[in-house]
Amino acid sequence: MLKRAVAEELTGDAVDGARDDMTDAPLIAAHHVTASYDNKRAGTRLTALRDVSLEIRRGEFIAIVGPSGCGKTTFINMIAGFVKPMEGEVLVRGLPVKGPGSDRAMVFQDYALLPWRTVERNVMFALENHRGGDKEHNKRRVAETIGLVGLTGFENSYPYELSGGMRQRVGIARALACDPEILLMDEPFGAVDAMTREAMQAELEAIIGKTGQTVVFITHSIDEAITLADRVVVVSSRPGRIREVIDVDLPRSRFEDEVKLMPRFSELREHLWNLFRAEALGAKSEEAA
């Protein structure tokens, strides 16, 4: 039922219209980025990413896959402005990223909700330090985003009263509240069960089909990457380098059974699995050494 409802919602120009906003000029560009962390106690330096270059167009949904510790989170933290590259630069709209900004929002795996705040107040938190907009405007915006993620009626509930999937919906609503141009998602569905995960993937596709935002999405799931993304970026084991960028040339909505039964879906899954398996095994070999 959910798959069918989402598919009907996305029928026609909903998704295509969002994709029409893409331009040739990249919205996000990483140029020869290297990121390292110093361990002052041990006197060593760990290189998370090395010489990474990637361009992301406006309106694209990019999924990043790779073994644990390969620098995926470091990469989106650089886009968010939380981490500065040791070498190279990250640009948004052609300007170097100097720090966090309201044009970018992050959705975390562990929800990161304030337990003493209701759903409404958690989403409002995103707007409290946001310039512009009066109280009535902010209240309308919070109601809109809560409705967009399907939580109308739960405005006065606290996080402990919600399921894991509902808590993550609050996190997504909070990220959307400021209408960011870029949505950064770090394994947002990693902490929910398989059925909830698939339902939320479908809901996310529907939401992004409406908002047309640019999404950079980290996942360990190959099927999730293929189902959601326009392109999949495969990152090598640490220090992370881009191994391959793969176009996902499948129609939307990808929650239709016919799409997942297409030979091309299986081809993409097998190709990604072979790349991912090689990198994961390489990472384990390095750990053992």
Render pLDDT for 101-121 as a digit per residue (tens, 0 to 9): 989 999 988 878 999 999 999
* 20 compared with 135, residue with greater pLDDT: 135
pLDDT category, 130, cuts 50, 70, 90?
Answer: low
Give the percent of the chain with pLDDT over 70: 87
DSSP per residue, 79-104: HHTSS--SEEEEEETTEE--S--TTE
> Which segment, 187-191, 212-216, 278-282, is predicted with the most confidence on average?
212-216
pLDDT at 81 over 50: yes
Lowest mean pLDDT among 3-12, 166-175, 194-203, 232-241: 3-12
Which pLDDT does position 284 carry in this prediction? 56
Query: C-alpha angle 208/210/211, rounded to 5°?
Result: 65
Percentage of the chain lying above the pLDDT 90 cut: 57
Q: In this structure, what token pair is assigned to residue 197?
A: 């995960």
Contact call for residues 188 and 158 (beta carbons, < 8 A):
no
What domains does the chain contain, in order, with CATH numbers?
Answer: 2-24+59-83+98-103+181-288 (3.40.50.300), 111-179 (no CATH)
- Asked if pLDDT for residue 20 goes beyond 50, the answer is no
Flag whether pLDDT at 2 surpasses 60. Answer: no
Confidence of residue 87 (pLDDT cuts 50, 70, 90): very high
For residues 62 and 10, what is the distance between their CA atoms, to the nearest angstrom?
19
Q: Is the peptide bond before 253 cis (omega within 30 degrees of 0)?
A: yes
Residue type for 196, please?
Answer: T
Residue that wins the pLDDT comparison between 257 and 149? 149
Quick one: angle between helices 194-211 and 2-9, nearest 10? 10
**pLDDT over 50 (residue 85):** yes
Residue 287 has pLDDT above 70, yes or no: no
